[in-house]
Structure 1
Amino acid sequence: MDYARLLPVVLVSAVALVVVAAMPAKARLPQVVVLLVGGAVIGPDVLHLSAPADVELLADLGMGFLFLLAGYEIDPGIGRRPTGRLAARSWLTSGVIGLALVAALDSITPFTAWVPLTIALTTTALGVLVPILRDEGLSGTRLGQHAIANGAVGELLPIVGMALFLGTRGTVGALVALVLFAIGVVWLTLAHRRPTFRRLREVIKPLGDGTGQGEMRFTLLLLVALLAWATAMGFDAVLGAFLAGMVLRAWSPVDNQELERKLDTVGWGVFIPVFFVSSGMGLELDALVEHPWLPFAFAGMILVARATPALLWYRRELPVRGRVQLGLYTATTLPLLVALTEIAVDDGSMQAGTAACLVGGGVITVVVFPLLARYVGRETAGASDEGAPDPTGGTPTTPEPAGSPSAAPAAD
């Protein structure tokens, strides 16, 4: 490895935190945006200090950890709950709308990336939404719970779509393999008689800190095993990493909070920033200059595809302004978009220029849409969810202040 070429990448990773911390709290950008911009600056199109090939292995591990953490955040039983089923119907509607939008765009600017672009229009950034909802004190409200459910489904189902249509198998073969793969994973995550791992806990616990780090070693073993399993079945590594997170949540032989803290430390402290910086270095900036309107068009398409179902399906759950907020939060996407475009470019189903513009549209969504949702929320302050019926059919919910135990983010 050429450490002189690695140094700029690590420098951007560290400086990004300083840049984000220096921003006003209410207008603070997600660090993903800063990492992408920093990668574009040091990349081959600007300063020529580094290139994606120089950090390929670290970036691949970063993408693996990113989707491991995404899968870890999702409750495997989300589909059995009313909010999860409603989010799934909303996502399917987004798919239909997205396909119609892609067809309309193709009539104006012909291209061949129908499948990856349609999938991209249905994605949501759960990892970006959770801290935003927590900061806004919305995690325990009806709006927050629906936003989290839509975020979970907006990560899970697009990844399934990627496995079906962007893998190395044909669609029929991928569907059969995916069903078999899903049966195994669902059994692992939802089986009622799972081992308690009491003895394994007793063995690992003394080795959890210091030079042992037993739980992290077993986590890495699980991650690599499912990555190998997914790729052997013809799926992209993203699916294996995502499902590894879901399995890890259900089968972890150690304390989940402690493990999550360590996963964040390793993932976001080392590997994940390298993945985003590498993605920024790989962006075709010439395409953004040549078609400056296209990122805004993509952002608008994402908004229409993801926000329209919120306005349609949640009429009995939220008032009009609440549905507008939900639509804006649901249309916020970027991390999965970055991974999707990389996969699509690698397998030849999307041109690099289109990918750069699509990522640019994702940047617009994470910068603009949460701010618009916050503005709409201020307009409705005082007429909120207090005393409103719980969408799951339980007792009325009252918004909890951010940071309270009951306001902790859940998968549903």
Structure 2
Amino acid sequence: MSQAGTLILIMTIAVLAPLLAHGISRRLPVPLVIFEIGLGILVGPDVLGWAGDGAVIDALADLGLAMLIFLAGYEIEFDKIRGATLKRSAAAWLVSLAAGLGLATLLSGFDRGVFIGTALTSTALGVVLPMLRDAGDLRSRFGSVMSAVGAVGEFGPIIAIALLLSGRSWGESTALLAAFALLTAGAVWWAMRPRPPWFAKVIAATLHSSGQFAVRLVVLLLAVMLGLSQALGLDTLLGAFAAGMLARLVLHGAAPESAGSVVERVEAMGFGFLVPVFYVVTGIEFDLDALLSGGRALLLLPGFLLLFLLVRGFPVYALAPPDLGTRDRRALALFASTALPLVVAITTIGVDEGSLHTDEAAALVGAAMLSVLLFPSAGLRLRGARAARRDVAKEPESW
């Protein structure tokens, strides 16, 4: 099939997926991403063989992943997650990294263990936050803690990718990261400077016109940070996450009354087009044959699923803020163990470099898909609607 035909098929799946999710949600809550990836597998080369890949499709999928990480960075409200909560989240991730690298190296050797261990420490913040928002739980105390845990679970693995999976020496990687950090700090300084009065006026005046100044500015920020990270030889996901944080600082600092409307338009572009392309292409490129043809891969899949809970979930449970109850700590561990986008990115790097076998990559991605299907639903059931309503207005003195 031509790339134009494949794109039409992908967008058909993007339209069908929310209809299926809505219809089934009345009986069984299934995340939208499962339908997008599942239908991608169905039309992919290992089942129906209707869809293939190509330069244009791959570029759109890469942009979809960047947009997903960008929106995850934008969602982080650092004024609510700083202090003890952020320190506990960072400590839990460092424990996860040590445990993940240790266990994966012990089981698979260092070369493969670095990829597997790093993947086990990730949290799919871009998947989890929309679920919490749809459940009315994003602005609660639990939602703020989960935002901190998820932010570290997204940002930490991205840093680990730059340090451990770049193929460069530690010294060179550290120097490049330091250069990126300095440039990003300069961008943050610029973003936090007071904007002239005309800036907010232009945003408001073009918000409902074809000009869309603020949306174009956000896209420019994303492009600049992606280009900066690529120029320094770092993973572009690092630039996407930083761009999301910068966009939040600019919009909420210069035009807080318009920020919500602007991000709604950016989300429409992301979740309406680019992000579904990424997930459907993930399904199309999923190596189903490698997973089903050998017993080893099928045994690895539940093993990796368990490791997500042990490596990522247990440290989060153990180091969660003390004001959270037992049920909330368990729910937090389940949400933190939900992984997918970075698992796909890390396994792709591993396979391309010849360090990961395709069956191992398929088992890891399959386990991540199951984590998206199982863990958030279980976490929401543990939380319950009453808990969300009860603490939505709670504002602890020190988080």
Q: TM-score, normalised by structure 1?
A: 0.85
Cα distance between partner residues in 2 of 1:6 and 1:335? 20
Cα distance between partner residues in 1 of 2:350 and 2:11? 26
> For the structure 1 residues 96 and 330, does the alpha-carbon distance in structure 2 shift closer, same or farther, using more than 3 Å as the test?
same
Give 1:57 deviation, angstroms: 2.0
Partners of 2:17 and 2:36 within 8 A in 1 = yes
Which segment drifts farther, 248-257 or 40-49? 248-257
Give 1:178 deviation, angstroms: 0.5
SS of aligned partner of 1:286: helix
Partners of 1:168 and 1:235 within 8 A in 2 = no
Q: Which residue of 1 aligns with 2:68?
A: 66
Give 1:78 deviation, angstroms: 6.7
> For the structure 1 residues 338 and 77, does the alpha-carbon distance in structure 2 shift closer, same or farther, using more than 3 Å as the test?
farther
> For the structure 1 residues 24 and 5, does the alpha-carbon distance in structure 2 shift closer, same or farther, using more than 3 Å as the test?
closer
Instruction: Please tell me the residue identity of whatever aligns with 1:3.
Output: A
Instruction: Please tell me the residue identity of whatever aligns with 1:198.
Output: P
Q: Which residue of 1 aligns with 2:4?
A: 3
> For the structure 1 residues 235 and 361, does the alpha-carbon distance in structure 2 shift closer, same or farther, using more than 3 Å as the test?
same
Q: Give per-residue Cα distances to partners, 1:207-251, cap 9 Å, x unaligned.
A: 233321222222222211111111010012111111111111112
> For the structure 1 residues 198 and 169, does the alpha-carbon distance in structure 2 shift closer, same or farther, using more than 3 Å as the test?
farther
Q: Which residue of 2 aligns with 1:249?
A: 248
Is 1:316 aligned to 2:322, yes or no?
yes
Is 1:188 aligned to 2:187, yes or no?
yes
Cα distance between partner residues in 2 of 1:220 and 1:193? 18
Cα distance between partner residues in 1 of 2:265 and 2:338? 27
Give 1:22 deviation, angstroms: 0.8
Q: 1:272 aligns with which of 264, 271, 275?
A: 275
SS of aligned partner of 2:298: coil
Q: Which residue of 2 aligns with 1:391?
A: none
Q: Which residue of 1 aligns with 2:24?
A: 23
> For the structure 1 residues 26 and 373, does the alpha-carbon distance in structure 2 shift closer, same or farther, using more than 3 Å as the test?
farther
Where is the helix percentage greater, Structure 1 or Structure 2?
A: 2
Q: Which residue of 1 aligns with 2:359?
A: 353
Give 1:271 deviation, angstroms: 1.1
Partners of 1:137 and 1:399 within 8 A in 2 = no
Cα distance between partner residues in 1 of 2:339 and 2:243? 22
Q: TM-score, normalised by structure 2?
A: 0.88
Q: Which residue of 1 aligns with 2:92?
A: 90
Cα distance between partner residues in 2 of 1:145 and 1:23? 29
Give 1:358 deviation, angstroms: 0.8
Q: Which residue of 1 aligns with 2:101?
A: 99
Which segment drifts farther, 90-99 or 132-141? 132-141
Instruction: Please tell me the residue identity of whatever aligns with 1:345.
Output: V
Q: Give per-residue Cα distances to partners, 1:153-192, cap 9 Å, x unaligned.
A: 1111111111222336433211111112112223433679
Partners of 1:129 and 1:148 within 8 A in 2 = no
Give 1:79 deviation, angstroms: 7.0
Q: Which residue of 2 aligns with 1:338?
A: 344
Q: What are the residue-to-residue correspondences of 1:142-221 with 2, within 5 Å?
A: 142-167=141-166, 169-189=168-188, 194-221=193-220
> For the structure 1 residues 211 and 358, does the alpha-carbon distance in structure 2 shift closer, same or farther, using more than 3 Å as the test?
same
* Structure 2 unmatched runs, 5+: none
> For the structure 1 residues 219 and 311, does the alpha-carbon distance in structure 2 shift closer, same or farther, using more than 3 Å as the test?
closer
Give 1:375 deviation, angstroms: 4.3
Cα distance between partner residues in 2 of 1:131 and 1:215? 23
SS of aligned partner of 1:27: coil
Q: Give per-residue Cα distances to partners, 1:350-393, cap 9 Å, x unaligned.
A: 33332221111111111112233344446xx99x799xxxxxxx
> For the structure 1 residues 25 and 157, does the alpha-carbon distance in structure 2 shift closer, same or farther, using more than 3 Å as the test?
farther
Q: Which residue of 2 aligns with 1:301?
A: 307
Instruction: Please tell me the residue identity of whatever aligns with 1:46.
Output: V
> For the structure 1 residues 313 and 277, does the alpha-carbon distance in structure 2 shift closer, same or farther, using more than 3 Å as the test?
same
Q: Which residue of 2 aligns with 1:228?
A: 227
Instruction: Please tell me the residue identity of whatever aligns with 1:320.
Output: T
Measured on the aligned residues, the alpha-carbon RMSD in Å equals 2.7
* Structure 1 unmatched runs, 5+: 387-397, 401-405
> For the structure 1 residues 146 and 189, does the alpha-carbon distance in structure 2 shift closer, same or farther, using more than 3 Å as the test?
same
Instruction: Please tell me the residue identity of whatever aligns with 2:36.
Output: L
Instruction: Please tell me the residue identity of whatever aligns with 1:83.
Output: T
Is 1:114 aligned to 2:113, yes or no?
yes
Give 1:305 deviation, angstroms: 0.8
Which segment drifts farther, 200-209 or 137-146? 137-146
Instruction: Please tell me the residue identity of whatever aligns with 1:318.
Output: L
Which segment drifts farther, 234-243 or 185-194? 185-194
> For the structure 1 residues 178 and 201, does the alpha-carbon distance in structure 2 shift closer, same or farther, using more than 3 Å as the test?
same
Cα distance between partner residues in 1 of 2:388 and 2:43? 46
Cα distance between partner residues in 2 of 1:256 and 1:167? 36
Cα distance between partner residues in 2 of 1:359 and 1:84? 28
Q: Which residue of 2 aligns with 1:389?
A: none
> For the structure 1 residues 14 and 179, does the alpha-carbon distance in structure 2 shift closer, same or farther, using more than 3 Å as the test?
same
> For the structure 1 residues 135 and 236, does the alpha-carbon distance in structure 2 shift closer, same or farther, using more than 3 Å as the test?
closer
SS of aligned partner of 1:360: helix
Partners of 1:119 and 1:161 within 8 A in 2 = yes
Cα distance between partner residues in 1 of 2:286 and 2:196? 45
Give 1:337 deviation, angstroms: 2.1
Identity %: 33
Cα distance between partner residues in 1 of 2:49 and 2:302? 27
Instruction: Please tell me the residue identity of whatever aligns with 2:166.
Output: G
Give 1:136 deviation, angstroms: 4.8
Instruction: Please tell me the residue identity of whatever aligns with 1:101.
Output: L
Cα distance between partner residues in 1 of 2:131 and 2:277? 23
Give 1:63 deviation, angstroms: 1.7
Q: Which residue of 1 aligns with 2:34?
A: 33
